[in-house]
Copies of this chain bind each other. A is one copy, B any other.
Amino acid sequence: MEGLRVGMLGCGAVGTGVARLLVEHGRPVRDRAGVPIALQRVAVRDVTRKRDPAVDPTMVSGDAAAVVADPEVDVVVEVMGGIEPARSLILEAIRLGKPVVTANKELLAAHGGELFDAADAAGVDLRFEAAVGGAIPIVAPLKESLAGDRLRRVLGIVNGTTNYVLWRMASTGAGYAEALAEATELGYAEPDPSADVEGFDAAAKCAILASLAFNTRVAAGDVYREGITDVTAADIQAARRMGYTVKLLAIAEEIDGEVSARVHPAMVPDAHPLAGVTEAYNAVFVEGDAVGRLMFYGRGAGGRPTGSAVLGDLVAVARARQQGAKGVGCTCVYRRRVRGMADVDTQYYVALDVADRPGVLAQVAAVFAEHGVSIRSVLQRGKGEEAQLVLVTHLAREGAVQRVLEGLRGLPVVGNLASAMRVEGEEADEVLGW
């Protein structure tokens, strides 16, 4: 039986991982796929650079279009990243009837619609397990295993760098800058960390998760986004005292037929499975009508873990070819409206530095009441000029909470709005009606 010949675009960490795994796991991959899968050609930017021995120098070319067009290439693996030329190369591969496996979350989040439409029209497979959650199988479960359920919400820790930074801040008491410096030194953060710490990477993955979970199309630009740059050591310690852990979450929800997609730091109850996700690990927590709560946990980055996800997709492509199946890109049935952040229900933790005198709580509570935001718990810490009021709200419209925060900032008895952070994963049972 004929093997599957791979044309790979890009050969950085993930590409090298794919090349090495194809060599090291050649036998088990062949056994699972039914045919051998091997690299045929590799397109790189710099042909002079020294490569891993798994990449035969005679395969390497600087001409990506030629790799896509090569009749001896059966399937295209795109691990170059970025928008162009990745987008054009993938469209060309689809036009030629070649299945595509990509790890490019940025491209999918920006131009997924165009790519999936092209793949569906051509009956060509477009697979992207590696684009979200690295080694974690989450794309296939959302598209296939959970296809019989009605999903309600997806909460993901989908960026390892920020999880590492927040975890170090919590475990050592370090500030943001110090923890980030450590992450950079250990290779968990890039020299320019902005795509990670400002939430762009998580937002792209959030768009993909929302699209998969709700069978619709959400683009990265539709995702509300806050990074972790403003999270302070004090926020994290305060969360800890209240039994919460601070995580950067990618949240996709269905609300009355609309979709909300957002990325921001949030306090998660310590008993929630997401709170225990430490180091640079990723996890995706799914709430569905029938399945209840599911969580998928694993390594979200790295050449070998991500490469393994690419290989899983290659095995699926090889099997589909033998079964004579035409490809399915991505069934996207609905055109759902993306709800603006102000109209999403959120729960908040608010800490206020206040003067400890009679009537303060009444004045503070009045601001919440004025905007219809209901308070779940209040705690006063400290005394005199050092006093702090710590409040946790019930679920309320984000817009209303923002008006409350505005009102609190203008209140003379409030010295300082020390902290305001959303709380997630707490009122889930209520939301789901359990």
Contact = CB atoms under 8 A, between A and B. Distances in A.
A288 interface: yes
Nearest to A288: B308
A299 B295 contact: no
B294 A148 contact: no
A299 B289 contact: no
Interface stretch (A189-197, A324-332, A387-395, A406-414): A324-332
A21 B309 CA distance: 31
A148 B325 contact: no
Contacts of A33: 147
Contacts of A324: 324-326
Interface residues of A, number: 62
Contact of A305 (B21, B291, B295, B323): B291
A307 to B, nearest CB: 6
A140 B147 contact: no
A370 to B, nearest CB: 40
Contacts of A309: 145, 148
Contacts of A302: 292
Contacts of A31: 215, 331, 333-334
A294 B141 CA distance: 14
Contacts of A320: 323, 325
9 contacts: A29-B147, A31-B331, A135-B294, A137-B144, A146-B308, A146-B312, A147-B316, A291-B305, A320-B325
Given A28-B147, A323-B327, 7 more contacts: A29-B148, A32-B147, A32-B331, A137-B146, A291-B304, A292-B298, A292-B304
Report the 3 A-B pairs with minimum CB-CB distance, sorted nearest first: A148-B311, A137-B145, A325-B325
